[in-house]
Amino acid sequence: MTFTQAIKQIRDLSRDDITGIVSDYVELKRSGNGMKGCCPFHDEKTPSFHVSDQKGIYKCFGCGLGGDAIDFVMRIDGKEFHEVIYQFADRFHITIENSSTGTDKKEPRIPEPIPGLKKVRSEIRKAGLVTVICGDSPTDEIDNKAAVNIPASFTPEEAKALRKFTNRCELVVGEVAWENVRESIKTGLTEGFSVTILSNGQSMDWIYYVTEVAQPERGDIIKLLAAIPDSISRSVYMTEYSNLASQNSEAEVCR
Ligand SMILES: [Zn+2]
């Protein structure tokens, strides 16, 4: 069947099999009408993670996360929607025709957007923050395990993959060129992260970093402000930036 037809069938089958799917990751025990276990998405000792085989959904009353079986695997494995569909197609013995060539049964394996992310995703969830080491930045000051390496600047794919686990990112930009730092901040902001920068052992909000450390052209800062998707937080940042800018220009006058 086609990919679109498979989605519908897989939604139905995975709804009925949610207990089996979640059990591959979480130890569940029968509780009332459903199953219960310790949430894999936050740190807890008393189970508040529920799975309803009747409704085909999971819900954690500790951290609030919930959804269907497809959502669960996307979240826990950091996978894209179509990757989970192919994974479930295997599970349920469904053959998906490849519409583009008609020969291959499966799309080629899509590599992980960030190598090593699988290993650290639970650390990221626990920390509520991901440390993103850009390029060859020195890492001796980084003591947490919730860290990933990216080649130079943050790409939207990398940011989207990390955004599943946290909404805070700290970019480590030791020796990285401003253009790459700018792109990384912009991508982080666009994807809805609250972005801090670790530079020379100091962690600061990106707006302080750009106005006080990087000091790029004003246009660059305006573009970064424009990348903030939420209008309220954008206006807070705009105000903060104009305060910082006026302080800096006063300081120059005094010199
Ligand atoms: Zn939870």
CA distance 20 to 169: 33
Q: How far apart are CA 9 and CA 1, in angstroms?
A: 10
Q: Is 50 within the bounds of a domain?
A: yes
The pLDDT, as a whole number, for residue 172 is: 92
The span from the CA of 209 to the CA of 171, in Å, is 11
211 found inside a domain: yes
Residues 160 and 196 placed together within one structural domain of the fold: yes
Residue 252 has a pLDDT of 55
List the CATH number of the domain containing 171.
3.40.1360
| Domain presence at residue 20 | yes
Please indicate, yes or no, whether residues 166 and 129 belong to a single structural domain of this protein.
yes
CA of 118 to the centre of ligand 1 (A): 18
Q: Tell me the CA–centroid distance for residue 37 and ligand 1, in Å.
A: 10
Show the domain range for 73.
3-91
Residues 141, 197 within the same domain: yes
Residue 98 falls inside a structural domain = no
Rounded CA gap, 46 and 236, in Å? 39
Distance of alpha carbon 22 from its chain centroid, rounded?
A: 21
> Do 234 and 140 fall within a single domain?
yes
So what's the pLDDT on residue 122? 84
Which domain CATH number covers 10?
Answer: 3.90.580.10
Q: 106: CA distance to ligand 1 center in Å?
A: 33
Same-domain pairing of 242 and 130: yes
Q: Is 106 a member of any domain?
A: no
Instruction: Name, in order, each residue with C-beta under 8 angstroms of 4's C-beta and a sequence gap of 6 or more.
Output: none
Report pLDDT for 142: 77
Is residue 68 located within the same domain as residue 130?
no
- pTM: predicted TM-score of the whole model, two decimal places: 0.58
Q: How far is the CA of 128 from the centre of ligand 1 (A)?
A: 13
- Ligand 1: centre distance to CA 41 (Å): 5
- What pLDDT does 189 receive? 95
Q: What is the pLDDT of residue 22?
A: 96
**Cβ-contact 198, 223 below 8 angstroms:** no
- Residues 76 and 69: beta-carbon distance below 8 Å: no
Domain membership of residue 105 (yes or no) is: no
In Å, what is the CA distance from 72 to each residue of 58, 76, 177?
8, 6, 38
Domain end call among 57, 91, 125: 91
Q: How many domains does the chain have?
A: 2
pLDDT in tens, the chain (255 residues): 899 999 999 999 999 999 999 999 999 999 988 999 999 999 889 999 999 999 999 999 988 889 999 999 999 988 889 999 999 999 999 999 876 544 444 555 566 788 888 888 888 988 889 999 998 887 777 777 899 999 878 999 999 999 989 999 999 998 789 999 999 999 999 999 999 999 878 889 999 999 999 999 999 999 999 999 988 889 999 999 999 888 877 655 554
Residues 247 and 137 in one domain: yes
pLDDT of 90: 93
Model pLDDT for residues 131-183, shown as the tens digit of each residue: 999 988 877 777 778 999 998 789 999 999 999 899 999 999 987 899 999 99
Ligand 1 centroid – CA 22 distance (Å): 13
The reply to whether 63 and 165 lie within a common domain is no
Question: Does residue 121 lie in a domain region?
Answer: yes
Query: Please, which residues have CB less than 5 A from ligand 1, an ion?
Result: 39, 41-42, 60, 62-63
Taking the C-alpha atoms of residue 175 and residue 136, their distance in angstroms, rounded to an integer, is 7
